[in-house]
Amino acid sequence: MRRAPVVIGATVVGLIGVLTFHTKSAPVTLGSLSGASATQGSTTTTAPGSSPGNNSSGASSPPKSGSNAGTSTVPSTNTATSSPSATRSATGSAVNYHYGILSVSVTASGKRITKVSIGSINDGGNFRSQSIDQQSIPMLEQQAVQAQSANIQGVSGASYTSAGFQQSLQSALGKLGL
Amino acid sequence: MSPTSPANATQKESRHVLHCLERVMGTVVTIDIYSEDGEASDHTYLQVARARDILQRADAVFSTWKANSPMSRLRRGEITREQAPPEVTEVLEECAKARRISRGWFDPWAMPGGVDPTGYVKGWAAQRALGALASAEISGAIVNAAGDIASFGAMEHSQAFRIGIVDPFSPSRLACLVELTGAIATSGTAERGSHLIDPYSRRPTARVASASVTGPDLGLADALATAVAVAGEAGLRLVETLDDYEALIIGFDGTLRRTEHFPLASPVQLQE
């Protein structure tokens, strides 16, 4: 009767929930937040199928490249805590979501997530699904990465699709030991 | 005995000890637990199990997607309120209260197809689930029902939970950060099309791109977020008159307005 719970214990120290990364960092300004996301964005767009090496070098370097003037204290702290910076990738289990089936891929450098993307998606050509996915999937990919940059514990205003997305993401994180 | 060392000080930190994901109410609800001793006890696991049961039961009772749920049967007139489980009456009374507080801008009785408390139930259930997590061992907890979030306590160093609000015009970004005490709900049209109904005109309407409401109770915060998204500026003024509840709206022109004490984590302006 009960569905198998996805319960991950203390092994996820360092990772809060699906969308968050646990570090002791100084408060983030929006300047640093969007600076980080700009960096992540370029990483993601260069890339469906590019080598993990690229991703990690792009995202693990402190996002000073962001042209924003905001002081970004977060990245240095994060870099300091992620000493074993081996780059690894995993794809989460395929999950039924409201409009189809999807799986999520995660690339991590040390304990830091550097990329989150859709590994596969099958919505059966459902038009409604496509219009939703086109908007919300990139959003969810970026939120997952951005959330750890911003050191936040959740996002308000998330979407329907996040159900399947989060579940597959969680399973991918589990495989990476995060 | 040496004086308090930094190591001792850090032992008092509250740490994230448990993350749990429950598929329920057509979405996923996540539960995060923080504890000062850094461990989840058997009792904590039991509490989480209770919280999950609360969510599943709320789904079973109130789902309007399930043809045989008590709520569906009530809507079809097959049973009376008295014959339905007691929480149906509780929720409908809370909905009536939320309708009154929101001066009619939140109105489950104005939904197409008869009374539909769905817009209230998710927040109400998450708040109830959070209630099951109260204990001396748990220093902080978050129940996140697909973006509507109930919480108590805090993280290490009593640092408040930080929640991002999605930028409705660029959903891959966050519009701002909130230092959360209690609950936050966000309603808007950015993602799911115009699913909001104006109770006065009974037509799909939203007067702002996004409305977020914080406060002690997620059920009411959720109802108020819906009300403010439909009512716009008038809704913001309405929330300003309420004790303990605060609101933030993002207009279709990108302007960001808030009630005086809305708990922004840092002063920000909407980018671009």
Q: DSSP 3-state assignment of B35?
A: strand
Minimal CA separation from A111 to chain B, in Å: 15
Q: Inter-chain contact A17–B148, Cβ cutoff 8 Å? A: no
- Provide the pLDDT for residue A63: 36
Could you tell me which CATH class the domain B15-258 is placed in? alpha beta
Positions in chain B whose pLDDT score sits under 70: 1-13, 170-173, 189-194, 266-272
DSSP letter for B27, please: E
Residues of chain B contacting residue A33, judged by C-beta atoms under 8 Å apart: 174, 177
Nearest to A171 by CA among A64, A112, A90, A72: A90
Q: Which of A73, A74, A96, A156 to mutate to test the interface with B (most CBs of B within 10 A)?
A: A156
- A86 with A56: CB under 8 angstroms? no
Distance from CA of A29 to the nearest CA of B (A): 7
pLDDT, residue B175, reads: 83
pLDDT value at residue A14: 26
- Domain ranges, ordered by start, for chain A: 10-175
10-residue mean pLDDT profile of chain A (178 residues): values are: 33 30 28 29 31 36 36 32 66 71 79 74 60 57 61 68 65 75
Burial tier of B160 (Cβ tally within 10 Å: 0-12, 13-18, 19+): middle
> Is A135 at the interface with chain B, CB within 8 A?
yes
B190 in contact with chain A, both atoms CB, cutoff 8 A: yes
Reported as a single tens digit per residue, the pLDDT across B33-68 is 998 888 889 999 999 999 999 999 999 999 988 899
Among A20, A153, A178, pick the best mutation site for testing chain B contact (most B Cβ within 10 A).
A153
Inter-chain CB proximity A167 and B28 less than 8 Å: yes
Q: Concatenate the DSSP letters of all residues of chain A into one string.
A: -PPPPEEE-GGGTTEETTTEE----PPPPHHHHHHHHHHHHHHHHT-TT--HHHHHHHHHS-GGGS---S---HHHHHHHH--S--EEEEEPPPEEETTEEEEEEEEEETTEEEEEEEEEEE-TT-HHHHHHHHHHHHHHHHHHHHHHHHT-SEEET--TTHHHHHHHHHHHHHHTT-
A160 CB neighbours in chain B (<8 A) are 26-27, 146, 191-192
The pLDDT value given to residue A100: 67
pLDDT at B54: 97
Check CB contact under 8 Å for B163 and A8: no
> What pLDDT, on a 0 to 100 scale, did the predictor assign at position B40?
87
- The neighbour count for residue B250, using CB atoms within 10 Å, is 27
**Nearest residue in chain B measured CA to CA from A37:** B173
B213 phi/psi in degrees, rounded to 5? -130, 130
CB contacts < 8 A (A, B): 169
Look up residue B159 and give its two tokens.
């640092």
A155 touches B: beta carbon within 8 Å: yes
